[in-house]
Chains A and B, each alone.
Chain A
Amino acid sequence: MENILQEIGIDNYIYLATLLFCIGIFGVLYRRNAIVMFMSIEIMLNAVNLLLVAFSTYHQDAAGQVFVFFSMAVAAAEVAVGLAILVAVFRNHNGIDIDNLKNLKG
């Protein structure tokens, strides 16, 4: 385990995670397709998971990895619900372009 971190330093993992997270954010902000936004959110989630695992290794503490398992399981459930909502939106609006979803207007 220590070897991996010796070969590739912890800061590289942090950069990668940050990069992934930013990609996720920009994906959410720029794309209008709900599924793509969904995917971007998943990328952000995984960036965080990656970071958790990296630090878990760095600190020699398995708790972080256990936590990631939980996080992935919850994410899977969330994806299921989210996709179901998207299907419902698609049926009602004939599309999943979020610019057409203005029902939240005050």
Chain B
Amino acid sequence: METNLALLLLFAPFAGFLINIFFGKKISRTLSGTLGTIAVAVSFAVTVFFFLQVSSTKVPVMVDLFQWLTLQNFSVNFSFQLDQLSLLWLMFVTGIGTLIHVYSISYMHDDENINKFFAYLNLFIFFMITLVMGSNLLIMFIGWEGVGLCSYLLIGFWYKNQDYNDAAKKAFIMNRIGDLGFLIGIFILGYLFHTVEFTGMKSMIDNKWPINESLLGVAMLCLFIGACGKSAQIPLYTWLPDAMAGPTPVSALIHAATMVTAGIFMITRLNFLFNLTPDVLEIIAIVGAITSLVAASIGLVQNDIKKVLAYSTVSQLGLMFLALGLGAYEVAVFHVITHAFFKACLFLGSGSVIHALHGEQDMRNMGGLRKVMKITFITFLISTLAISGLPPLSGFFSKDEILLTAFHHNKPLWVIGSIASIMTAFYMFRLVYLTFYKDFRGTEEQKHHLHESPSLITFPLVVLAILAFFGGAISFPGMSWLNEYLAPVIAKPAVHEHLGTTEYILMGIAVAGAFLGIGLAYNKYISKGEVPPQDSEITGVAGVLYNKYYVDEIYTAIIVKPIYAIGSFFKNVTEVAISAFIFGLGKVAVLLGNEGKTIQNGSIGFYLLFFVLGVCSIIGYIFLVK
């Protein structure tokens, strides 16, 4: 029964994918979307069932299908593990997935390839479920690669635009770098433990299995590189902003709420191993903090509404990695969940705006939309308040817990995280003010067509906004349902200090920081009514930020260009030399043949002479030389 249900959970989206990819053109456009949505909704329903079961019994459901591969003393089972952590992830993957499918029915309605879109989305959900449910690293790796593939397919969904194709390739290649790290990490762990099952490795750790610690450190570092690629951390983050080339629902689902959290999931899943390597954890914390600051600073000056949200995502992921690095896995998971709610809502809201403006994404050409798009505006505002960290919205609790943990463990990282949070408040309200306040700055024709989006679009927005508002309830400081729920899967819970004066002061500082950011944005864009200047007029520090610290240019200069140079060197020099050599050999053979042909003149006497000479030379060689 449980096996069948788990398989249903896994394969419902896959069935949706198969139907949409093979018969999508034959069925109607609405039916295509509806089928895709139902497929994911089925998964969600099964997830809820398991979730309720496991949260009451506290016994994880193990689904062992078959033995996948066996080597001498190493075997891998094809099995799935539905424990607290994976069910939590499945809840929001399939839940938000369903909402975004609903949204896409309307959003993608006029696209000619809508069936392909839903096929890819379903395939993505399938792989994401595989990733989350896998009971060992190899199954997880299948899902890991699969979501990367779907991400590639969906970023390049509008394949007629070459820029979008390039963005897709960039995302894929950057992820490949991370995947290589992940794979090496798996190999090393397999070598160390003779198993890659999570439960197996955990029990070996619990039983004090002797481990080569430096090798384990290398493995953990490799796994972290994998997480960096998938979750867009320095230095592999540049693909995520470019990934905004995909349709907005894709950005919301894959590049904000679910796939990019896979790295955090993996590290949380292996927390019992990461605990053994504090040095790697410290690297994770530092990388996370720096990423959050760098991305937030870039977000300050972006003018593309989706780019702002993309950098915001990178920045928030950085905060999650900060929490992971400090060993506060449950706090990171908490932020993953609240972030999934409000960031999905923000992306879908921006999609609603883009939809109303017929593809316009530049905030300089927006403004005043609050009067026309009431629902979008209100939901967007709630999510913005949540991400800015204002109480009592969900983002306040999760972000505050991260900063609290940082304060207790590492003060410099707390400062970095706090600055990033202030920046977050600033750029998010900059976005809101530029988009929804003041007067409309677009063309008259666009103004004429402004409209609130249809209910299929606004419904997910409302649901997500409610979740973004109340999502913090799952983990109030002091009485956290989430921490208790996750206790079985987290080997060493972070120490939760009592809420004392320090903590309240820190909360006050965080809220004050958020108000500071909001106030700065208000002063600049409402009181002074500024509009960001045109691209050519952005100079100085803002220019550097606007051009993303020229990181793409640096990568192009130090990686892409040399590779091209090596390529052209091999093409123009080595290849030419080798082919000249080969052709030369051919020419020599032809020349020799032409000359040698004349020896065969048909004269028997001539032949005989050489025959005799040959025999004589053989005899001479045998008798005289030897």
Contact = CB atoms under 8 A, between A and B. Distances in A.
Contact of A106 (B602, B604, B605, B609): B602
A105 B608 contact: no
B553 to A, nearest CB: 67
B597 to A, nearest CB: 6
Given A25-B612, A106-B597, A32 B602 contact: no
A35 interface: no
A17 to B, nearest CB: 15
Interface in B576-603: 597, 600-603
A90 B213 CA distance: 96
Given A25-B612, A28-B608, A29-B609, A102 B600 contact: no
A28 B604 CA distance: 10
Nearest to A25: B612
A101 B604 contact: yes
Interface string A86-106: 000000000000110111111
Contact of B600 (A25, A99, A101, A105): A105
A10 to B, nearest CB: 18
Interface string A45-68: 000000000000000000000000
A39 to B, nearest CB: 15
Interface residues of A, number: 12
A29 B605 contact: yes
Nearest to B597: A106
A55 to B, nearest CB: 17
Contacts of A98: 603-605
Interface residues of B, number: 11
Contact of A102 (B597, B603, B608, B609): B603
Contacts of B609: 29
Contacts of B607: 104
Nearest to B613: A29
A64 to B, nearest CB: 21
A26 to B, nearest CB: 9
Nearest to A26: B612
Given A25-B612, A29-B612, A99 B605 contact: yes
Interface string A10-29: 00000000000000010011
A105 B601 contact: yes
Contacts of A105: 600-602
Contacts of A99: 603, 605
A104 B602 contact: yes
A32 B606 CA distance: 11
A104 B612 contact: no
B603 A106 contact: no
A28 B600 CA distance: 19
Contacts of B604: 98, 101, 104
B608 A29 contact: yes
Contacts of A104: 600, 602, 604, 607
B498 to A, nearest CB: 104
Nearest to A101: B604
A32 B608 CA distance: 12
Contacts of B603: 98-99, 102
A25 B263 CA distance: 90
A31 B597 CA distance: 26
A102 B602 contact: yes
Nearest to B599: A106
A101 B607 CA distance: 12
B426 to A, nearest CB: 90
Contacts of B612: 25, 28-29
A104 B603 CA distance: 8
Contact of B602 (A25, A28, A29, A103): A103
A106 B607 CA distance: 12
Contacts of A28: 608, 612
A25 B611 CA distance: 11
A23 to B, nearest CB: 13
Contacts of B600: 104-106
Nearest to B607: A104
A101 B608 CA distance: 14
A99 B604 CA distance: 7
B602, B609, B612 — which one has the most chain A CB atoms within 10 A of its CB?
Answer: B602
Contacts of A32: 605
A36 B217 CA distance: 94
A32 to B, nearest CB: 7
Nearest to B609: A29
A37 to B, nearest CB: 8
A98 B600 CA distance: 15
Contacts of A101: 602, 604
Contacts of A106: 597, 600, 602
Interface in B80-115: none
Contacts of A102: 601-603
A2 B600 CA distance: 51
Given A29-B608, A101-B602, 6 more contacts: A29-B605, A29-B612, A98-B603, A99-B605, A102-B603, A105-B601
- Shortest Cβ-Cβ A-B pairs, 4 listed: A105-B602, A106-B600, A102-B602, A104-B602
19 contacts: A25-B612, A28-B608, A28-B612, A29-B605, A29-B608, A32-B605, A98-B603, A98-B605, A99-B605, A101-B602, A101-B604, A102-B602, A102-B603, A103-B602, A104-B602, A104-B607, A105-B600, A105-B601, A106-B602
